[in-house]
Amino acid sequence: MKARTVLCSLALAAVFLAAPAVQAHEFILKPEKATVAQGQQFGVQAQAAHVFMVSEEAENPADCSLFLLQQGKKHPIALSEDAANKTLAGTTSLPAAGAAWLVGHRAPQVWSETTEGVLAGDRAALEKQGKKVLSVTKYEKFAKTLLNASSKDESFKAVQGQNLEIVLLDNPAAIQAGGTMRCQVLLHGKPVAGALVQASYDGASPKEDTYLASVESDAKGVASLPLNHAGLWMVRTAQTVKAADKGIDQHQMRAVTVFAIQ
């Protein structure tokens, strides 16, 4: 397993410029606060961001779903566009004391790389418009955020069953700045070896796609990430597979898990 600190990596920048599939925004669930009392109302943003964690555009509300999960019960959260903050926003409250998860999904969208740039739509639709299509990708995004991490609660390691998911193996409540977080990448419930897992925290940099650590998962899909700062952290990964849909070349899935450390 290789870990490397990334503050402003020219190599990563080259990758982002070379592959339009990598330029998609990260889908991030940013809560108003990571510690919430029972019954307390709080806000959450479903962000589309390259700068972490500042939303750069609002996703289509029709494509996004969000719920709060606590003690096995799902509590849907309605999302609406917050134009001032370029995000989708919702409000909820914590039904009971203890840990909970915010769980979100950005439904698949189809985008095509053409001789005129990256355009929304599949091959058939764009070719009808006279466009020359080079490749077609379906993008799907998954996100989750842990609230009220506690040394007495093991909800941190719960598997939500997302098609692509980052599962925490260490309790954020037991990690301080300078510590390490182990996590596991699952694709359709199975560990992914060699997955690139990257981490950053809220406010770490005003530059796009800046990660403080980039680690490849081992044979069991496990990555160990150094966390050098207290705050709200995000870890992300992506997987691209051959698409099952006719006329679509590949299916890219992205996953982000958010948690706080002291």
pLDDT score, position 23 = 60
Contact 78, 90 (CB under 8 A): yes
Contact 70, 158 (CB under 8 A): no
Q: Of 218, 178, 199, 240, which is closest to residue 19 (Cα–Cα)?
A: 240
How many angstroms separate the Cα of 214 from the Cα of each of 45, 105, 158, 223?
25, 24, 23, 9
7 pLDDT band, cuts 50/70/90, is very low
User: What's the predicted TM-score (pTM) here?
Assistant: 0.90
Q: Is the pLDDT of residue 17 over 80?
A: no
Q: What pLDDT, in 10s, does the model give residues 34-62?
A: 999 999 999 999 999 999 999 999 999 99
